[in-house]
């Protein structure tokens, strides 16, 4: 899931300066779960914009599989409301925002309503955690399914830095040391021998951007 955070209203209002009629695009998937671009969130932003004197001509919440894939169809359903607007505010991740821009078929300005933070997992309390950095060469098989690239702030591949204290990371004392978690997990699985396999320096060329996977 792509984790987003809504921008402050003041920042959004700066983007919308000189534009009085706004159409809002949300996201029925990740941004709904993050409470940044679902129907309730879009309605709150709509109310907030209207209180500042702006008119919201309409809104759209593209759904599964992803705002980026559904945006063309959704925008065509709302063409009239969009045409009545001076600008389009997108309450979705950077991928969704760019997809709206690419599929708009008008020169109307598109604006950013959310900051995109990371690819994350959600826990039972509704909190989000980064657990994978899409490095392009997964090592989870060797690390008890705990990612050292992402969950160790130093991205160490061959064991802990030595700074852990009672299992907590020296970079953030509230966070478990990823390598202690890895050790405990491998021990549980009777796979501690995997720690003796020295990992070569990571080939970060596999993360050179922009990446693509074609069929």
Nearer to ligand SF4, 107 or 141 (CB): 141
Least CB distance to ligand SF4 at residue 164 (A): 4
Nearer to ligand SF4, 58 or 155 (CB): 155
Nearer to ligand SF4, 88 or 177 (CB): 177
Least CB distance to ligand SF4 at residue 168 (A): 8
Enumerate binding residues for ligand SF4 (CB under 6 A). Answer: 132-135, 138-140, 147, 149-150, 152-154, 156, 160-161, 163-164, 169-171, 177-179
Token reading at 90: 């997108």
Least CB distance to ligand SF4 at residue 192 (A): 17
Least CB distance to ligand SF4 at residue 1 (A): 14
CA 1 to chain centre: 6
How many residues are listed for the chain in this entry?
215
> What residues contact 14, with CB distance under 8 A and at least 6 apart?
none
How far is 41 from 30, CA to CA, in rounded Å? 13
**Sign (positive or negative) of CA dihedral 110, 114, 118, 120:** negative
Nearer to ligand SF4, 161 or 195 (CB): 161
How far is 168 from 177, CA to CA, in rounded Å? 5
């Amino acid at each position: 899931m792509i984790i987003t955070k809504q921008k402050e209203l003041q920042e959004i209002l700066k983007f919308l300066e000189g534009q009085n009629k706004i159409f809002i695009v949300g996201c029925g998937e990740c941004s709904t779960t993050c409470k940044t671009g679902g129907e309730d969130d879009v309605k709150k932003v709509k109310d907030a914009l209207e209180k500042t004197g702006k008119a919201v001509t309409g809104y759209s919440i593209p759904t599964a599989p992803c705002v980026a894939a559904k945006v063309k169809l959704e925008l065509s359903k709302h063409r009239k409301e969009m045409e009545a607007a001076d600008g389009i505010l997108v309450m979705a991740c950077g991928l969704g925002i760019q997809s709206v821009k690419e599929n708009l078929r008008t020169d109307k300005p598109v604006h950013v309503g959310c900051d995109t933070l990371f690819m994350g997992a959600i826990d039972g309390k509704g909190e989000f955690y980064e657990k994978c950095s899409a490095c392009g060469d997964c090592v989870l098989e060797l690390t008890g399914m705990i990612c050292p690239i992402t969950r160790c702030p130093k991205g160490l591949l061959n064991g802990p830095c030595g700074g852990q204290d009672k299992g907590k990371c020296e970079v953030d004392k509230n966070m478990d040391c990823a390598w202690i978690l890895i050790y405990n997990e491998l021990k549980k699985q009777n796979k501690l021998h995997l720690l003796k396999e020295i990992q070569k320096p990571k080939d970060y060329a596999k993360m050179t951007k922009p990446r693509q996977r074609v069929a």
